[in-house]
Structure 1
Amino acid sequence: MTSQENRRITDAGTLKAIAHPLRMRLYRALFVARTATASQLADQVDEAVSLVSYHLRKLAEHGLIEEAEAQSADGRERWWQPSSYGFSIHEEDIAGAPELAAASAAFGRTLNEQRTAMHGRFLDERHTWSEEWRTASISSEWLPRLTAAELSALGQELEAVLTKYDQAARAAEAAGDTAGRENVAVHLHGFPYRG
């Protein structure tokens, strides 16, 4: 069963495993689907089932995903699910460890590229969404002058708000309330910069 906790990644092997672009796409697709087979995920990412199966096994080797209870009578297919509610990488775990820092940077770049591509796809396909969804979509930039402590507190508050909405949506979905629900991506970045 998927743990409701956020997994903290502290080793280079796991960071390298998730930094692979296809593995990140597979993890995201599996997180959204909750459970899926390699065949179902292969259709979503437009890759061969054998390649997807290989990368799913790599994610499983690092404990990022796990086998799930079969969702069909076909016992030949393996079902997968995320092993935790998500994962996180903390600066204090990679500080002073060059290999971890490099793996974390590679992961961050992969994630940023995929997030940018997702948002770009929405912008390109925006006209295919209803007016309600187009109006509900959010795109803003804030440039406050904060201390490191204030930025940390802001991040914690935003995470709490997003967690509240996600948990409520999952509960509603589990109760059968699926009308009008779509997958929604919320990407937040908060970082210092100099002019």
Structure 2
Amino acid sequence: MTSSETRRITDLGTLKAISHPLRMRLYRALFVARTATASQLAEQVDEAVSLVSYHLRKLAAGGLVEEAEPQSADGRERWWQPSSYGFSIHEEDLKDAPELAAASAAFGRTVTEQRAALHARFLDERLTWSEEWRSASISSEWLPRLTAGELAALGRELEAVIRKYDEAARAAEAAGDTEGRENVALHVHGFPYRP
């Protein structure tokens, strides 16, 4: 990753680019892999290399991914990496922009569907994981009564804690500590609702 910052998406083109279901899957796979070729990503998402290359170029045009240093001697391979630690969409960027609001809603639905599918896959496959991993997995729901300010503060604190663990894990892995490490999906939602 070039930047350790989170990229803030404020334009319609980039938001539409990442809202595409395959592009979101590719972005997630690339984020986990850190660097990969279109061929490697095509295997993971079970799509043609040419289609994956096309969608990677669309993500690159939106500034979400970029070319990475080659990881092999084969000069024909084009390596990719995320251009930042992640990205965010802020509500204040959507007001007075109905097209952005609609694209943000489409993006949210895509992400929600993919997250639900990822969790359902874990539930279906949970017995293939060790007892240690099954016990460590988290599935909780809390229903606190908060103000908008408290919810925003809670979100910032959760993000800081998650980033701390992720950065420590990446540093440990870079130092060779790979024993027992697995990719972990952590989905936290916080939104108001009325019963």
TM normalised by structure 2 equals 0.99
Give 3-state SS (helix, strand or coil) of 2:42's partner. helix
Deviation at 1:163, TM superposition (A): 0.6
Aligned residues: 195
CA distance in 1, matches of 2:127, 2:153: 37
Letter in 1 for 2:97: A
The equivalent of 2:151 in structure 1 is 151
Deviation at 1:171, TM superposition (A): 0.5
CA distance in 1, matches of 2:33, 2:24: 14
Give 3-state SS (helix, strand or coil) of 1:105's partner. helix
Q: How large is the Cα RMSD of the aligned pairs?
A: 0.5
CA distance in 1, matches of 2:68, 2:163: 23
Deviation at 1:2, TM superposition (A): 1.7
CA distance in 2, matches of 1:20, 1:126: 29
Deviation at 1:35, TM superposition (A): 0.1
Q: Which runs of 4+ in 1 moved over 2 A?
A: none
CA distance in 1, matches of 2:61, 2:147: 39
Letter in 2 for 1:14: T
The equivalent of 1:35 in structure 2 is 35
Instruction: Please list, as runs of the form range in 1=range in 2, the aligned pairs for 1:15-164 lying within 5 A after superposition.
Output: 15-164=15-164
CA distance in 1, matches of 2:155, 2:5: 18
Give 3-state SS (helix, strand or coil) of 1:80's partner. strand
Letter in 2 for 1:67: E
Gap regions ≥5 residues in structure 1: none
Gap regions ≥5 residues in structure 2: none
CA distance in 2, matches of 1:80, 1:53: 10
CA distance in 1, matches of 2:23, 2:160: 27
Letter in 2 for 1:160: A
The equivalent of 1:14 in structure 2 is 14
Letter in 1 for 2:129: W
Percent of aligned pairs with the same residue? 85
CA distance in 2, matches of 1:143, 1:2: 38
Deviation at 1:34, TM superposition (A): 0.1
CA distance in 1, matches of 2:13, 2:78: 24
